[in-house]
Structure 1
Amino acid sequence: MKDKEKIKNEGDNFNQKKDSINPDISKVRAYCNTPHPSQSPQAAPHRFHNRRSIRLKNYDYSKAGLYFITLCTANRENIFGEILNKKMHLNSFGKIATEEWEKTPEIRKNISLDEYIIMPNHFHAIISIDYKIKEEGKEKIGKFQSPSQTIGAIIRGFKGATTKKINNLIREIRNNQGSTGVLQYAPTNAPSGINLSGEGSIWQRNYYEHIIKTEKAYNNISNYIINNPLNWDIDKLK
């Protein structure tokens, strides 16, 4: 761990359960099991509009600290590759996701990346906000903070960039191959047998996050991420 002081963030001031030493997979699974709007076109708008936020109320997600995040693909489709011999093998969609995630510190200079893994249908990562960027004239506690520096803004940017590039690739493949349905006979290293429209987000709505506050939690979550491909056969997010 680069700087263990990062885990001693102000999240301890909030009334929440003791920091777990392992990721709460039941909560991650609950997030990933949320139906995608496309599964129920009529009911979805009402359901999603009224869904309770899973973020901590009044917590400043732009402050320095370590965060464990999970994103799932829409309907948990296996679009990023496959697990072979307990190793993740990325296809072209998975490589796009990797490239876009690794651009994050270039876009936001106060961010550094820790362990992460692109799985066939989900993504785990530890991200560090190394320091909080204070706006000129906005340094007092409680004042407005630019949303571009929050965890939520980082995730939205990543989701948007990956969705745009992957949808562009889908349309390119279909234009070249004349396919209107499942992506078949795709160019080398491009996914085949994937039924995506080339429109709309490739990701499940929202995301799961956990504020890491202890070294023990950091170590266990890191190991969980590293060993994710080894445990794919029993992965509850499959």
Structure 2
Amino acid sequence: MDKFKNKYRIPSARARWWYYSNEGFYFITICTHNRRRFFGSVSDRKMNLSKIGLLSEKYGFEIPDHFPFVKLHAFVVMPDHVHMIIEIAHSPNPANSATEALHADITGEALHATPVRMAAISPKRGSLASIIRSYKSAVSRDARKVNPNFEWQSRFHDHIIRDDGAYDRISKYIIDNPKNWNKY
């Protein structure tokens, strides 16, 4: 494991071979810290959103307003997590940082100075990580006005959707998530 500021860091779960500003479909799951049920509850196979759940839903649907190159497909807020399919419809930074990031990774140049290293590991503008960071930040800002203890998990899960069959299965899973809540 790598260290940052002399502390061990869990390696990234992101595909090292993929540039996350690439056009494509991404299945995203973002959980609350310790899976606390800040967003509401499921009853009669339907999600009943709390105030924080309503904020999470509102800001989720607003993602394309802030990132015009993004389309939001399936989306659901559950008691302790959200699922969404995000499509990056066109790369906002064509032929840019992908080559630079790959070069820095191969040569190790990004590791020499702290500001350069932080720039290298920070989410790149237009990337999936920057979209999710913005969403989590907006929800957190207003959710903490309702409950100061609101927190997200520090990371999120992503899956690159590679074909129509996977897209259909994942969309159905997201849409049916409230109906299947008590099965898990």
TM-score, with structure 2 as normaliser:
0.80
What's the counterpart of residue 133 of structure 1? 92
Residue 221 of structure 1 and its aligned partner are, at CA, apart by: 0.4
1:153 and 2:130 correspond? yes
What's the counterpart of residue 230 of structure 1? 179
Aligned residues of 2:93 and 2:126 also touching (Cα < 8 A) = no
What's the counterpart of residue 81 of structure 2? 122
In 2, Cα distance between equivalents of 1:95 and 1:220: 26
What's the counterpart of residue 215 of structure 1? 164
Could you report, residue by residue, the CA deviation over 1:106-138 in whole angstroms, capped at 9, with x for unpaired residues?
111100100011000011110000001136xx6
Larger Rg: 1
| Amino acid across the alignment from 1:209 | D
| Amino acid across the alignment from 2:50 | N
Aligned residues of 2:64 and 2:72 also touching (Cα < 8 A) = yes
Unaligned runs of 5+ in 1: 1-44, 171-197
| Amino acid across the alignment from 1:66 | F
SS of aligned partner of 2:57? helix
Evaluate the alpha carbon distance shift between residue 97 and residue 140 of structure 1 in structure 2; reply closer, same or farther with a 3 A threshold: closer
Within 5 Å, which residues of 2 pair with 1:198-213?
198=148, 202-213=151-162
Number of residue-to-residue matches in the alignment: 159
In 1, Cα distance between equivalents of 2:139 and 2:97: 35
What's the counterpart of residue 163 of structure 1? 140
Residue 140 of structure 1 and its aligned partner are, at CA, apart by: 8.5
Evaluate the alpha carbon distance shift between residue 165 and residue 141 of structure 1 in structure 2; reply closer, same or farther with a 3 A threshold: closer
TM-score, with structure 1 as normaliser:
0.62
Structure 1 stretches of 4+ moved >4 Å = 138-141
User: Alignment RMSD, CA only?
Assistant: 2.1
What's the counterpart of residue 110 of structure 2? none
Q: 1:102 aligns with which of 52, 61, 66?
A: 61
Evaluate the alpha carbon distance shift between residue 140 and residue 127 of structure 1 in structure 2; reply closer, same or farther with a 3 A threshold: closer
Within 5 Å, which residues of 2 pair with 1:27-66?
46=7, 49-66=8-25
In 2, Cα distance between equivalents of 1:141 and 1:161: 27
Residue 139 of structure 1 and its aligned partner are, at CA, apart by: 4.7
In 2, Cα distance between equivalents of 1:216 and 1:109: 26
Which has the larger strand fraction? 2
SS of aligned partner of 1:54? coil
In 2, Cα distance between equivalents of 1:89 and 1:229: 10
